[in-house]
A and B are shown apart, each in its own frame.
Chain A
Amino acid sequence: MSKIPATLFDKVWDSHAVRKIEDGPDVLFIDRHFIHEVTSPVAFLGLESRGLKVMFPEKTFATADHNTPTINQHLPVQDPLSANQLKALETNTAKYGISHWGLGNPRNGIVHVVGPENGITLPGMTIVCGDSHTSTHGAFGAIAFGIGTSEVEMVLSSQCIMQQKPKKMRITVTGTTGKGITPKDVTLYIISRLTAAGATGYFVEYAGEVFEKMSMEGRMTVCNMSIEMGARGGIIAPDETTFAYIKGREKAPQGQAWDNAVAYWKTLKTEEGATFDMEYTFEASEIEPMITYGTNPGMGLGITQRIPTAQAAGGSEASYAKSLQYMGFSEEEPMLGKKVDYVFIGSCTNGRIEDFRAFASIVKGRRKADHVTAWIVPGSHIVEQQIKEEGILDILTAAGFQLRQPGCSACLAMNDDKVPAGKYAVSTSNRNFEGRQGPGSRTLLASPLVAAAAAVTGVVTDPRELI
Chain B
Amino acid sequence: MAYDKFTVLKSAAVPMPIENVDTDQIIPARFLKATERKGFGDNLFRDWRYNTDGTPKADFVLNNPIYSGEILVAGKNFGSGSSREHAAWAIYDYGFRCVVSSFFADIFKNNSLNIGILPVQVSPEFLHKIFTAIEADPKTELVIDLPAQTITITATGDSMQFDINSYKKHNMTNGFDDIDYLQAMKEDIQAFAAKSMY
Contacts and interface: CB of A to CB of B under 8 A. Distances in A.
Interface of A: 18-19, 21-25, 27, 29, 31-32, 38-39, 41-42, 45-46, 50, 52, 55-56, 59, 66-67, 79, 81-82, 84-85, 88, 122, 125, 130-132, 134, 145-151, 153-154, 157-160, 162-164, 166, 196-197, 200-201, 230, 232, 260-261, 264, 295-296, 315-316, 318-319, 322, 412-414, 421, 431, 433-436, 439-440
Contact of B193 (A29, A84, A125, A421): A29
Given A29-B192, A201-B106, A154 B179 contact: yes
Given A85-B35, A148-B83, A157 B29 contact: no
Given A200-B105, A318-B17, A433-B24, A154 B33 contact: no
A197 B33 contact: no
Contacts of A414: 29-30, 32-33
B22 interface: yes
Interface residues of B, number: 58
Max chain A Cβ within 10 angstroms of own Cβ: one of B19, B29, B86: B29
Nearest to B170: A24
Contacts of A88: 35
7 contacts: A19-B185, A31-B198, A38-B32, A55-B186, A158-B179, A200-B103, A412-B24
Interface stretch (B107-115, B132-140, B146-154): B107-115
A131 B23 CA distance: 12
A109 to B, nearest CB: 19
A125 B196 CA distance: 10
Contacts of B188: 18-19
Contacts of B186: 55, 158
B189 A159 contact: yes
Nearest to B28: A435
B181 A413 contact: no
B198 A32 contact: yes
Nearest to A418: B30
B6 to A, nearest CB: 16
Contact of B189 (A29, A131, A151, A232): A29
B103 A146 contact: no
A431 B179 contact: no
B193 A159 contact: yes
Nearest to B192: A18
A197 B24 contact: no
B11 interface: no
Contacts of B76: 197
A106 to B, nearest CB: 25
Contact of B20 (A21, A22, A150, A196): A196
B107 A296 contact: no
Given A148-B85, A158-B182, A232-B106, A42 B35 contact: yes
A148 B111 contact: yes
A118 to B, nearest CB: 15
Contact of A431 (B24, B35, B177): B24
What 4 pairs between A and B have smallest CB-CB spacing? A24-B167, A146-B83, A148-B85, A81-B33
Contact of A151 (B36, B52, B86, B114): B114
A21 B170 CA distance: 13
B172 interface: no
Contact of A45 (B25, B37, B103, B114): B37
Given A147-B107, A150-B178, A316-B17, 18 more contacts: A25-B165, A25-B167, A38-B84, A42-B36, A45-B36, A85-B33, A145-B107, A151-B114, A157-B179, A158-B183, A158-B186, A197-B80, A230-B105, A296-B22, A316-B19, A413-B29, A436-B29, A439-B30
Nearest to A84: B35
B175 interface: no
A197 B165 contact: no
A122 B20 CA distance: 34
B75 A157 contact: no
Contacts of B19: 315-316, 319
A39 B85 contact: yes
A151 B111 CA distance: 8
B80 A150 contact: no
B166 A162 contact: no
B189 A197 contact: no
Contacts of A201: 106
Contacts of B35: 41-42, 45, 84-85, 88
Max chain B Cβ within 10 angstroms of own Cβ: one of A148, A154, A295: A148
B81 A431 contact: yes
Contacts of A436: 24, 29
Contacts of B84: 38-39, 148
A230 B109 CA distance: 12
